[in-house]
Chains A and B, each alone.
Chain A
Amino acid sequence: MRKKVFSVLLCAAMATSMLAGCGDNSEPASNGGTTDDANANNDAAGGSDDADADDAAGGSDDAAGGGAAGKKFALVTKSAGNPYNEKEAEGFEDVINSLGGECIIKHPVAATADAQVSEIQSLISQGVDSICVAANDENALQAALEDAMAAGIKVSCLDSKTNAASRMTFANQAGTTEIGQALMDAVYDIAGGEGEWAILSATSQATNQNAWIEAMKSIMESDSKYANLNLVEVAYGDDEPQKSTDQTQALLSKYPNLKVICAPTTVGIAAAAKVLQDQSSSVKLTGLGLPSEMAAYIGDDDAHSCPYMFLWNPIDVGRLGAYISAALVDGTITGAAGETFTAAGMDNSEYTIVDAGDGGTEVILGAPFKFDPSNIGDWKDVY
């Protein structure tokens, strides 16, 4: 009897946990895959040290466009129902429409390479002129994309790249130097040009964070403008809220004159923001953070700990991807390092293709996107 009762209990408990587990999952996937995206973005940004290496070969200066009319431009995003991907598609579509081309957006049903492969194959049979893909897997798309290139279709990537053999070039959302420069200027601005500041990073081995920190240090040393800024410590919170909290509190008590903490990591910046805001500390914060995580801490007044922070803008990633596709199709570029193309209405036009460090090439979008009190309300629900 007792055994029966227990087995019923066991089944009930399992069923409850399964239901609880799946319940939220079956709801509309409002934000699906965003954290993954952020990580993929970080990875992509990691290998782009030579962002401002100038073109040695010198490229064609022809403006893109004109040749786009009547052509078919396809974008394959990571998955359906993901607001970050929707924003990318929005930017892509805007540009293609303004150039007079036909835009085909494909959102695979699942964020897998398989789902993307079948989308790519159907695009090949539709005879599109270009495919731009936010790869779910670096290598798994190779066969499909090589088929596409063999059929004369121009293949590029945005947001997250494939291996070098599967693409002509890649729209990279943020280069190491650009991020270092943006963060350094933010520290300079918030500190008022002088004083002590500290970095709260992820782990001491984190490739991206270390590259950004190195970039900040070299920018600080190379320009006398930053001479009065004193970097007192690089602390590591291991991307753990608890340890990041300990580290932030230690920074505050060790350096009473500290003015700014810069946290180039999404977990660290949120933990530090909470510590500073709860203590009504005079120390201010900047760094790289997710708008949805940081919305409660961003503000110009003393009640908020973070005046502004950065991440990349998915709409601009989509627009850059579209301009690359258009330039590939009309022959302005072939995807080789050193070539240039214009992107009307974008801040850093004209863009130069640079070596991506993985045997392929990339185009760096530019400085990361700034989230401040004026726009955080619009972005906190996006990603």
Chain B
Amino acid sequence: MEKKSVWKKITSSRETSLVIVLLVLVALISIKNPSFLGMQNILEILKNNSVIMIMALGMLCVLLIGGIDISITSSLAFAGMTVGMLFKNGVIHSTLLGFVIAMAIGAVCGLVTGLIIAKGNVTPIIATMGFMYIYRGFAYLVANSQWAGADALGDFKNFALESYLGLGFLNNVLFIVLICYIVFFVILKWTKFGRNIYAVGSNAEAAQISGINVARVKLSVYTMMGFLAGLCGALAVTIYASAQPNMQQGKEMDVIAACVIGGVSMNGGRGSVGGALLGALILSVIAKALPLVGIDALAQNTVKGFIIIVVIVLNVVTQRMMDKSNLERREM
């Protein structure tokens, strides 16, 4: 009896279909190129996509409350570029301070965006589109036509190579990704704040009536998103050992795509940390595999888009089948 309910729980979970898709993708790629499943390769994939993976968490919350934020890579660039220039000009030397500054800038960017959306009742896509230009502009102003290259970044660039946070076993960057995922899993699953996020996204009016301060939830969610974008700004600078004002431009779409692939609803109220993780992983695997299995360079973007559509359609179809079989069982 116990066994059956666990089985039922697994097959009725939204994430199961995604796990299957991911496994099939990995299996297919490994047949073409056996080195794909090597430890080194997996770590490379995770590290090169950590920025997308972390921002997918913030975007998950934003989508859960029925919003969207397309300014994230701009605040990422603003934060990352500022930190890069501070290192370049010798203003700061401490890696920790670099991260704190980047996260603070990101959080302030997110707070301002959140205020406009929550207090000013501006449509999220319009408000964040405005800030997309504003923060990107700030990044260019801060950069002042310079880049901060590897030589200028000093010790900061070594952060992404070392693993002291992960006690020597896990790369620093991956350790931060892990912590972010644990924190957001706990917040969304077991805290009041997490439940409020789902409540606001499912039915904002009902949430307001039942005593949830909807504006405050929105404000917190956008601030959190900005904070993560700031964190990713610093991470991107240390991972690529380079700060450029056009950093990660256009990647906000990858972050949104990761969430959508992961089954997060664009209408709010539906989605999970596990889904966001799987979505981000599927995107990362696709990006890494395309050049590896020998698809012509010119066709890579087309194939990428095609696979994303197929994955989403597959996911929707399997989910519907699961919902249907769940309902059938309930009827019996």
A249 to B145, CA, bound (A): 29
- Chain B residues positioned under 8 Å from A273 (CB to CB): 150
Please name the residue on chain A nearest to B91 by beta carbon: A24
Please name the residue on chain A nearest to B154 by beta carbon: A296
* Inter-subunit contact B144/A10 (CB<8 Å): no
Please name the residue on chain B nearest to A241 by beta carbon: B240
**Residues of B69-101 contacting chain A, CB below 8 A:** 78, 82, 85, 89
Please name the residue on chain A nearest to B241 by beta carbon: A274
B141, B151, B157, B241: which contacts A21 (Cβ < 8 A)?
B141
* Inter-subunit contact A236/B150 (CB<8 Å): no
**Residues of B24-56 contacting chain A, CB below 8 A:** 33, 35, 41, 44, 48-49, 51
**Residues of A302-334 contacting chain B, CB below 8 A:** none
Give the number of residues in A that approach B within 8 Å (Cβ atoms): 52
Smallest distance from the beta carbon of A278 to chain B beta carbons, Å? 6
* A351 within 8 Å of B (CB atoms): no
* Inter-subunit contact B240/A250 (CB<8 Å): no
- Chain A residues positioned under 8 Å from B119 (CB to CB): 3, 6, 10
Given contacts A21-B141, A32-B145, A235-B297, contact A246 B115 (CB under 8 A): no
* A126 within 8 Å of B (CB atoms): no
- Chain A residues positioned under 8 Å from B111 (CB to CB): 9, 13
- Chain A residues positioned under 8 Å from B228 (CB to CB): none
* Inter-subunit contact A274/B240 (CB<8 Å): yes
* Inter-subunit contact A33/B145 (CB<8 Å): yes
For B82, B141, B146, B288, the residue with the greatest tally of chain A CB atoms inside 10 Å of its CB is: B146
* Inter-subunit contact B151/A236 (CB<8 Å): no
B44, B78, B149, B297: which contacts A236 (Cβ < 8 A)?
B297
* Inter-subunit contact B291/A294 (CB<8 Å): no
* Inter-subunit contact A17/B144 (CB<8 Å): no
B89, B144, B150, B292: which contacts A293 (Cβ < 8 A)?
B150
Smallest distance from the beta carbon of A262 to chain B beta carbons, Å? 15
Using an 8 Å CB-CB cutoff, how does the interface string of B85-129 with A read, 1 for contact, 0 for none? 100010000000000000001001101100100010000000000
Using an 8 Å CB-CB cutoff, how does the interface string of A273-291 with B read, 1 for contact, 0 for none? 1100010000000000010
* Inter-subunit contact B147/A292 (CB<8 Å): yes
* Inter-subunit contact A204/B298 (CB<8 Å): yes
- Chain A residues positioned under 8 Å from B211 (CB to CB): none
* A106 within 8 Å of B (CB atoms): no
Please name the residue on chain B nearest to A3 by beta carbon: B119
Smallest distance from the beta carbon of A290 to chain B beta carbons, Å? 7
**Residues of B208-263 contacting chain A, CB below 8 A:** 236, 240-242, 244, 247-248, 251
* A247 within 8 Å of B (CB atoms): yes
* B168 within 8 Å of A (CB atoms): no
Give the number of residues in B that approach A within 8 Å (Cβ atoms): 48
* B278 within 8 Å of A (CB atoms): no
Smallest distance from the beta carbon of A321 to chain B beta carbons, Å? 22
A246 to B291, CA, bound (A): 8
A20 to B119, CA, bound (A): 24
* A36 within 8 Å of B (CB atoms): yes
* A14 within 8 Å of B (CB atoms): yes
A17, A32, A295, A296: which contacts B112 (Cβ < 8 A)?
A17
B33, B115, B141, B145: which contacts A35 (Cβ < 8 A)?
B145
B35, B138, B298: which contacts A20 (Cβ < 8 A)?
B138
* Inter-subunit contact B297/A13 (CB<8 Å): no
**Residues of A200-227 contacting chain B, CB below 8 A:** 204
Smallest distance from the beta carbon of A312 to chain B beta carbons, Å? 17
A279 to B137, CA, bound (A): 35
* Inter-subunit contact B287/A243 (CB<8 Å): yes
* B63 within 8 Å of A (CB atoms): no
Using an 8 Å CB-CB cutoff, how does the interface string of B278-310 with A read, 1 for contact, 0 for none? 000000000110011010011010000000000
* Inter-subunit contact A25/B288 (CB<8 Å): no
B33, B41, B144: which contacts A24 (Cβ < 8 A)?
B144
* Inter-subunit contact A25/B141 (CB<8 Å): yes
A354 to B244, CA, bound (A): 36
* Inter-subunit contact A17/B109 (CB<8 Å): yes
* Inter-subunit contact B242/A21 (CB<8 Å): no
Given contacts A204-B297, A292-B152, contact A34 B145 (CB under 8 A): yes
A35 to B298, CA, bound (A): 27
- Chain B residues positioned under 8 Å from A241 (CB to CB): 236, 240, 242, 244, 247
- Chain B residues positioned under 8 Å from A30 (CB to CB): 146
* Inter-subunit contact A24/B145 (CB<8 Å): no
A24 to B49, CA, bound (A): 30
* A271 within 8 Å of B (CB atoms): yes
* B142 within 8 Å of A (CB atoms): yes
Smallest distance from the beta carbon of A345 to chain B beta carbons, Å? 31
Please name the residue on chain B nearest to A248 by beta carbon: B291
A340 to B41, CA, bound (A): 56
* B317 within 8 Å of A (CB atoms): no
A14 to B41, CA, bound (A): 43
* A234 within 8 Å of B (CB atoms): yes
* A245 within 8 Å of B (CB atoms): yes
B115, B138, B287, B294: which contacts A6 (Cβ < 8 A)?
B115
* Inter-subunit contact B146/A35 (CB<8 Å): yes
* Inter-subunit contact B291/A274 (CB<8 Å): no
Given contacts A17-B112, A270-B150, contact A293 B242 (CB under 8 A): yes
- Chain B residues positioned under 8 Å from A33 (CB to CB): 145
* A297 within 8 Å of B (CB atoms): yes
* Inter-subunit contact B82/A267 (CB<8 Å): no
Please name the residue on chain B nearest to A29 by beta carbon: B144
29 contacts between A and B (CB under 8 A): A13-B108, A13-B112, A17-B105, A17-B108, A21-B78, A21-B142, A25-B141, A31-B144, A33-B145, A235-B297, A236-B300, A241-B236, A241-B242, A241-B244, A246-B48, A253-B33, A253-B35, A254-B294, A270-B149, A270-B242, A271-B240, A271-B242, A274-B150, A274-B240, A290-B147, A290-B149, A292-B152, A295-B149, A296-B149
Given A25-B144, A29-B144, A292-B146, 16 extra CB contacts under 8 A? A9-B111, A17-B105, A21-B142, A32-B144, A32-B146, A35-B146, A234-B297, A241-B236, A243-B287, A246-B48, A254-B33, A267-B244, A270-B149, A274-B240, A293-B242, A296-B150
Report A's interface with B, CB cutoff 8 A. 3, 6, 9-10, 13-14, 16-17, 20-22, 24-25, 27, 29-36, 204, 233-236, 241-243, 245-247, 249-251, 253-254, 267, 270-271, 273-274, 278, 290, 292-297, 380
Q: Which 4 A-B pairs have the closest CB atoms?
A: A293-B149, A250-B291, A296-B150, A295-B151
